[in-house]
Structure 1
Amino acid sequence: RTASDRSIDGSGVYVVCVLQPGELIIYYELEEGERSSSRGIVEVSPESHRITRFVEKPEEGLTASRLASVVFYCIQKNTLCCMSDFLSLQPKTTSRTFGHFWEWCINEKHLDVFGMKLPTGFQLIGQVGLSDYTKWLAHYSSKKHGNSAKPITCRSYARVGLMGNPSDGFNGKTIAMTISNFWAEVTLVESQALSLVPHPLNDPTEFGSLQDLFCISRREGYLGGLRLLQATCKKFYQFCSKQGIALTKQNFTLKYDTNIPRAIISATLKCLMKFYNITDDVRDLPKPVRANFILSVETDELFITAGLQDRVVQVYEGLVYMDFSKLLMDEQGHGNYVSMDMSSLPPFWLAYLSDPSDSGRIHSNIRQRWLNGEHEVVEAMKSFSELTDQAKDWTRLAQLMNENFELRRSVYTDGCLGPGNLKMVDLARQFGSAVKLPGSGGAVVGLILDQDKLVEMRQAFQEAGCVFCVITPYNPSQVLSEVSANLTAR
């Protein structure tokens, strides 16, 4: 039950796991084109990592698993006696193999056998030919000459809450979408030592003057984006340790650029997953768990006030419907998240204060009132959820956005919302625009109902000291279609 961190036979693989009482089988994911009939195949419980079934070189269709056992096992001393029992049951020499031994132990004797995944390949074990060796010699030769050190660059995008927020923190329902106007970009490249590169603007260590230090610190605070990189890496290592996922013995350099710092965590995690070949599969880091992971980096590691909605949208991307009901959260550890069609999405605009309000302040004492079961707050959160379900009909969106804001205003009060937010809402309504708060505060999102008034409205917001922009939704399915079309054209 103690954690281990060691290298196996100098093979360049960190084995990071939490040992449990039982036997251990190493497995990997078969590559495309690799036949499962050439390997012992394991079926693994994603929760406990226990091997629930072992099938030795199965015929096609016998198991859907693509997890192949390799000839690395850790066997407890008191289990060795089982080998003689197994051998006595096998009169044929051809059946006296480790594969059939594990079939017998797991499927018939129901021994506690656990699995640990190595994110690499073992294609040279077994029946291979010269072409297989040639392929892998070329692979390692390219690594030796540094051709494999191609940068991995990932982006995560800002989100706007279109309906239902702030009920996401109160077992409610929301609809939100990612927008490409604001993003965080992280680049990872393999290197000799693990290095985190400070951002020249967000992590300055030199200043032109004391006045520059004052202005930058007032605008950016004392803590830049570097801590987000470090906290994500620390939490990622910890997660893989607990999940029994072995990480290859490779170092890397991380650097970032951003105009929305919180998204750095999500972008960093994407890079780490690609670098270590960690997938969205249920046995690795599935999307709902990824959203929880990102939130835990912020709340547990950095003590940042944050909600789950933002992280869910950053992981799923596009337009997402989210149900955070208590029953779902208790039963499965996450809500139900459904990607929505963006083809008929109406146009939106976004405006924000140059000196935005504090997120913690705008939430006030609502959480405590909700935990106390105060009728007004509990009913308001139910109403937010009802508005979210109604908002699937885009023709009613303008009315529902206004209702969402007024409901929030009645519960949080004007004093809590602050004069800046109220000023932006009032300004939008002067131009007949539906408007609401897309997040915790400091910004408003509006529905473009009259294109002719857009230029005049933009000018009015800018004269009021606000930044104004037309929202460009980030649609991941559209991006994939464009990439596919470009590849086809080539």
Structure 2
Amino acid sequence: MLCADQNFDVAQVIRFFRSKPGELIIYYELEEGERVSSRGIVEVCPETHRITRFLEKPEDRCTASRLASVVFYCIRRDTLSYLSHFIHLQPQATGRTFGVFWEWLVNKKKLDVFGMKLPTGFQLIGQVGLSDYTKWLTHYSTKKQDNPAKPITCRSYARVGLMGNPSDGFNGKTIAMTISNFWAEVTLVESQTLALVPHPLNDPTEFGSLQDLFCISRREGYLGGLRLLQATCKKFYQFCSKRGIALTKQNFTLKYDTNIPRQVGLAGSSAIVSATLKCLMKFYNITDNDLPKPIRANFILSVETDELFITAGLQDRVVQVYEGLVYMDFSKKLMDEQGYGNYVSMDMCNLPPFWLAYLSDPSDSGRIHSNIRQRWLNGEAVVVEAMRSFAELTDQARAAIKDGDWSRLAQLMDQNFELRRSIYTDDCLGPGNLRMVQLARQFGSAVKLPGSGGAVVGLCLDQARLVEMRQAFQEGGCVFCVIAPYNPSASSAAQA
């Protein structure tokens, strides 16, 4: 056989084989135009990766699977004893093929056989000779020289929590929206070695002076985006290995850029992770079937919480994966039964003009998460009831958005903030956040925190007062902008 991209990582395959109590078959998804009747077809359990059925060159009507064996097998020593029995059952030489052998082992003998997917295309499976290999190797070599790999660039957008946050980490419900004002962008290009390029501002290693070091460190902190790239790559390899996906042996160079303000709760870190994951999926041809959107959100969260110990919830990762305006239900029943919540994309037509303001110096934005989680885990009634109320407000906001009742939505946004304030207290919210809320209310605008602190999102239905409020925020040392919602449907239509 000949892989249409590169040789796959045999070491990864061997590790996967050793982790399973049975034999191993490598398979791939048939390309358009390939018929199942030309290949050995496998049916695979997506949870256990066990091969449930093997069909040697079946007719189309016999199976819905388009997963084909690539004639690469790992067989345990004890299993070789089955060969003599199989040969005895096949007196005709035409029946003594590996495909028929595996069909017999899996379907008749019920042997434990597992599958590992290689996300690429194949040539030269079957009756071929040396000249066929030479021809295709020359083809791919020439193709690569004439058409060097183009860089892969992916964006993920900042988000604002419109309703329900911070209950996403407490089995609550939220509504959030991606905004095109701010984004993180990652670029991947194939290279001889694997390299991660530091960002000149976020990952500095050289400074003009000690004063420059002081100012940059105070404003940007010590933890840039390079760790996010590295953690995502590490977790991606681990995920693919556990999920039975054999990656091709290709190296790449990753670099990132972002204009999402740091430390103001607009999901800047998860945007970098999300954009990196998009690039890796495109580079290795990993599809939504291999990594479905709900699981992708879980993956992004695990990069931040498991690898980098960042306190976070699912809301940001879900909305950055689905994009647009998303309703999310994280009820315990759903999370326990399927491992993720119920995520529904909402209509973004005719949304009102939301606005966003954030602190130019977010050093006093407060410790938003405080000890609420422990109090919630302890079953403290006031916290448990608050999280239930966040969920109720979210359902009411969903109905208001559907009906275009923006006055009602504004009321609910104010209620969301007051509920949050009641359980987190002013000391935890921080004076900067409270000052921005108070300023917005002077102009009759609804206002709440869109994330963990350092920014506020609002809805002002009086356009004249909106202009006045912008000036007041800017005079108060804040950055102010009218939100430009990112609508993935509109973006796809424009590209088409």
TM-score (norm 1): 0.92
The 5 A counterparts of 1:84-99 are: 84-99=84-99
- Identity rate of aligned residues, in percent? 81
2:141 aligned partner: 140
Between 40-49 and 357-366, report the one with greater CA deviation.
357-366
The 5 A counterparts of 1:82-481 are: 82-126=82-126, 137-145=138-146, 147-260=147-260, 261-262=268-269, 263-281=271-289, 284-356=290-362, 361-393=367-399, 394=401, 395=405, 396-481=408-493
User: Which whole-Å deviations, capped at 9, do the CAs of 1:21-74 have from their partners, x for residues lacking one?
Assistant: 211111011112211221111111111111111122221232221111111111
Q: For 1:188, what is the secondary structure of its paired residue?
A: strand
The 1-side partners of 2:455 and 2:133 are apart by 57
The 2-side partners of 1:148 and 1:332 are apart by 42
1:28, 1:67 within 8 Å by CA — same for their partners in 2?
yes
The 2-side partners of 1:187 and 1:111 are apart by 44
Please report how far the alpha carbon of residue 448 of structure 1 lies from its aligned counterpart in structure 2 after TM superposition.
3.2
Relative to structure 1, the CA distance from residue 14 to residue 359 in structure 2 (aligned partners, 3 Å threshold; closer, same or farther) is farther
The 1-side partners of 2:29 and 2:82 are apart by 28
User: Which whole-Å deviations, capped at 9, do the CAs of 1:368-414 have from their partners, x for residues lacking one?
Assistant: 11111111110010010111111112213112111111111111122
1:165, 1:174 within 8 Å by CA — same for their partners in 2?
yes
What one-letter code is carried by the residue in structure 1 that aligns with 2:438? D
Q: For 1:346, what is the secondary structure of its paired residue?
A: coil
User: Which whole-Å deviations, capped at 9, do the CAs of 1:426-474 have from their partners, x for residues lacking one?
Assistant: 2112222111111111111111312222211110111111111011111
User: Which whole-Å deviations, capped at 9, do the CAs of 1:171-199 have from their partners, x for residues lacking one?
Assistant: 11111111111111010111111111111
Between 229-238 and 463-472, report the one with greater CA deviation.
229-238
The 2-side partners of 1:66 and 1:366 are apart by 49
Of 8, 12, 19, the match for 1:13: 8
Q: For 1:457, what is the secondary structure of its paired residue?
A: helix
Please report how far the alpha carbon of residue 88 of structure 1 lies from its aligned counterpart in structure 2 after TM superposition.
3.1
The 1-side partners of 2:397 and 2:134 are apart by 58
Please report how far the alpha carbon of residue 213 of structure 1 lies from its aligned counterpart in structure 2 after TM superposition.
1.0
User: Which whole-Å deviations, capped at 9, do the CAs of 1:76-111 have from their partners, x for residues lacking one?
Assistant: 222222223233333554333222222221122211
Equivalenced residues, count = 473
Q: For 2:212, what is the secondary structure of its paired residue?
A: helix
Relative to structure 1, the CA distance from residue 148 to residue 359 in structure 2 (aligned partners, 3 Å threshold; closer, same or farther) is farther
Relative to structure 1, the CA distance from residue 211 to residue 361 in structure 2 (aligned partners, 3 Å threshold; closer, same or farther) is same
Which consecutive segments of 4 or more residues in structure 1 shift more than 4 A? 127-137, 357-360
What one-letter code is carried by the residue in structure 2 that aligns with 1:199? H
The 2-side partners of 1:131 and 1:178 are apart by 50
The 2-side partners of 1:441 and 1:225 are apart by 20
The 5 A counterparts of 1:43-58 are: 43-58=43-58
Between 355-364 and 159-168, report the one with greater CA deviation.
355-364
The 2-side partners of 1:107 and 1:161 are apart by 51
Please report how far the alpha carbon of residue 313 of structure 1 lies from its aligned counterpart in structure 2 after TM superposition.
1.0
TM-score (norm 2): 0.90
Between 231-240 and 174-183, report the one with greater CA deviation.
231-240
Q: For 1:61, what is the secondary structure of its paired residue?
A: helix
Please report how far the alpha carbon of residue 347 of structure 1 lies from its aligned counterpart in structure 2 after TM superposition.
2.2
User: Which whole-Å deviations, capped at 9, do the CAs of 1:107-148 have from their partners, x for residues lacking one?
Assistant: 222110001111222222137899999777433312145x23
Q: For 2:33, what is the secondary structure of its paired residue?
A: coil
The 2-side partners of 1:274 and 1:358 are apart by 40
The 2-side partners of 1:328 and 1:390 are apart by 20
Relative to structure 1, the CA distance from residue 432 to residue 131 in structure 2 (aligned partners, 3 Å threshold; closer, same or farther) is farther
Q: For 2:367, what is the secondary structure of its paired residue?
A: helix
Q: For 1:80, what is the secondary structure of its paired residue?
A: helix
What one-letter code is carried by the residue in structure 1 that aligns with 2:391? S
What one-letter code is carried by the residue in structure 2 that aligns with 1:344? N
2:265 aligned partner: none
The 2-side partners of 1:365 and 1:185 are apart by 34
Q: For 2:368, what is the secondary structure of its paired residue?
A: helix
Relative to structure 1, the CA distance from residue 91 to residue 290 in structure 2 (aligned partners, 3 Å threshold; closer, same or farther) is same
1:357, 1:441 within 8 Å by CA — same for their partners in 2?
no
Relative to structure 1, the CA distance from residue 74 to residue 408 in structure 2 (aligned partners, 3 Å threshold; closer, same or farther) is same
1:358, 1:441 within 8 Å by CA — same for their partners in 2?
no
What one-letter code is carried by the residue in structure 2 that aligns with 1:268? T
1:71 aligned partner: 71
2:357, 2:473 within 8 Å by CA — same for their partners in 1?
yes
Structure 1 residue ranges without an equivalent (≥5): 1-7, 485-490
Please report how far the alpha carbon of residue 246 of structure 1 lies from its aligned counterpart in structure 2 after TM superposition.
1.4
The 2-side partners of 1:364 and 1:122 are apart by 54
What one-letter code is carried by the residue in structure 1 that aligns with 2:398? K
The 2-side partners of 1:445 and 1:97 are apart by 66
1:4 aligned partner: none
2:366, 2:429 within 8 Å by CA — same for their partners in 1?
no
The 1-side partners of 2:6 and 2:357 are apart by 54
